Amino acid sequence: MKKSKQFWVFAGLAIVFYAAVQFAISGGFLNNFYSNTLIFMGINIMLAVSLHLVIGITGQFSLGHAGFLAVGAYVAAIMTMKLDLPFVAAILIGGIAAALAGLVVGIPSLRLRGDYLAIATLGFAEIIRIVFLNIDYVGGAAGMQVTHLTTWTYTFICLFVTILVIVNFTNSRHGRACIAVRENEIAADAMGINTTYYKVLAFAIGSFFAGVAGALYAHNFYIIQPANFGFLKSIDILIYVVLGGLGSLSGAIVATILLTVVSTFLQDFPETRMILYSLVLIIVMLYRPKGLMGKLEFTDYLKMWMRPKGGRQHEQ
């Protein structure tokens, strides 16, 4: 009962935010630069939230998220540019293709743990990139022309659905099983949790939303190239999740907003931006390895603030 009240409050706030931005865009108060930054931010949040499910909730260290982004982007671009399907269908098919890729990658490599899994996912992402590089149908290294179709409305709806699904998944029985896998895989296995199933499930859901983000990403630019989806892109997404706090959804969102704003201002100085990023990574890992918000969510802070004497129930 309480939970659904919270949900409606958030949904209401989100819709008010959407309407305000949409009004500002159509009224001409927000110029192209700002609305593009907002769209880009939304796509980045989707990527961060989907990776959060894999790394933060299930504890599977994946370094290949850009690979799924690439699958979503290319498949969606093929759907709209070559097969003339509507954009909505392209988004869905992009997501499904990425989820299938997630299954293909997940089933063999999730037998591995920790470092090995990280390296295997990295390898898979590189293979995906090289495959796109070698297919002439999608333009090879030169890239593929894509029309600009992504609007604030599409971005908002996709983002809203992503967050909704991932929050609900996390709070469900399946999500708790995933958290058990994160905390101690062997113990979870011994308690009768089918660890492989949950790892693959989380991986596939994460890839699905990365693919949806990819579809939006592709149609937000005029051209997509395999070079956009390299190792560095995976690291970019990883930084959002790590900075916010491994295991905190709101942390990932806050970090993404922060870093997208910073990198938009540093667009003309790419190496300064990367130096800043890497310093942030190193310093956060050395002095606060659990990230800015740890495992706490934004609502936990609200609760603490409203009831200062109450116990901090959610802290581990």
Partner 1 sequence: MEWLQQLINGISLGSIYALIALGYTMVYGIIKLINFAHGEVFMIGAFIGYISITGWGLSFFPALLLSMAICAVIGVIIERVAYKRLRNATRIAALITAIGVSLLIQNGVIYIRGAQPAAYPEVFANKTFNLFGAQISTQAILILSVSVVLMIILQFVVHKTKIGKAMRAVSYDAEAAKLMGINVDNTISATFAIGSALAGAAGVIFGIYYTKIDPLMGVIPGLKAFVAAVLGGIGIIPGAVAGGLVLGVVETVVSALGFSLWRDAAAFIILILILIFKPSGIFGKHTREKV
Site residues (vs partner 1, CB under 8 A): 55, 61, 108-109, 111-112, 114-116, 118-120, 122-124, 126-127, 130-131, 133-134, 186, 231, 235, 238, 242, 246, 271-272, 274-275, 277-282, 285-286, 289
Q: Give 186 or 306: the residue with its C-beta nearer to partner 1.
A: 186
Q: How far apart, in whole angstroms, are the C-alpha atoms of residue 219 and residue 87? A: 9
- Give me the least distance between CB of 134 and partner 1, in Å please: 5
- Give me the least distance between CB of 83 and partner 1, in Å please: 26
Contact by Cβ (8 Å): 132, 78: no
Contact by Cβ (8 Å): 208, 95: yes
Residue corresponding to tokens 């907002």: 38
Q: How far apart, in whole angstroms, are the C-alpha atoms of residue 138 and residue 19? A: 37
- Give me the least distance between CB of 80 and partner 1, in Å please: 27
Residue 206 phi/psi, 5-degree rounding, is -60, -45
Q: Give 167 or 274: the residue with its C-beta nearer to partner 1.
A: 274
- Give me the least distance between CB of 302 and partner 1, in Å please: 28
Q: Give 64 or 95: the residue with its C-beta nearer to partner 1.
A: 64
- Give me the least distance between CB of 65 and partner 1, in Å please: 14
Q: Give 53 or 212: the residue with its C-beta nearer to partner 1.
A: 53
- Give me the least distance between CB of 283 and partner 1, in Å please: 9
Q: Give 92 or 117: the residue with its C-beta nearer to partner 1.
A: 117
Contact by Cβ (8 Å): 244, 292: yes
Q: Give 11 or 275: the residue with its C-beta nearer to partner 1.
A: 275
Structure tokens at 130: 């090289």
* Distances 84 to 74, 101, 191 between C-alpha atoms, Å: 14, 23, 50
Q: How far apart, in whole angstroms, are the C-alpha atoms of residue 210 and residue 94? A: 9
Q: Give 290 or 303: the residue with its C-beta nearer to partner 1.
A: 290
Contact by Cβ (8 Å): 51, 205: no
Q: Give 115 or 315: the residue with its C-beta nearer to partner 1.
A: 115
Q: Is 272 exposed, middle or buried (0-12, 13-18, 19+ CB in 10 A)?
A: exposed
Q: For 96-106, b where at least 16 C-beta lie within 10 A, e where not — what string?
A: bbbbbbbeebb
Amino acid, res. 32: N
- Give me the least distance between CB of 146 and partner 1, in Å please: 23
| Dihedral angle sign, alpha carbons of residues 240, 53, 193, 116 | negative
Q: How far apart, in whole angstroms, are the C-alpha atoms of residue 214 and residue 107? A: 22
- Give me the least distance between CB of 108 and partner 1, in Å please: 5
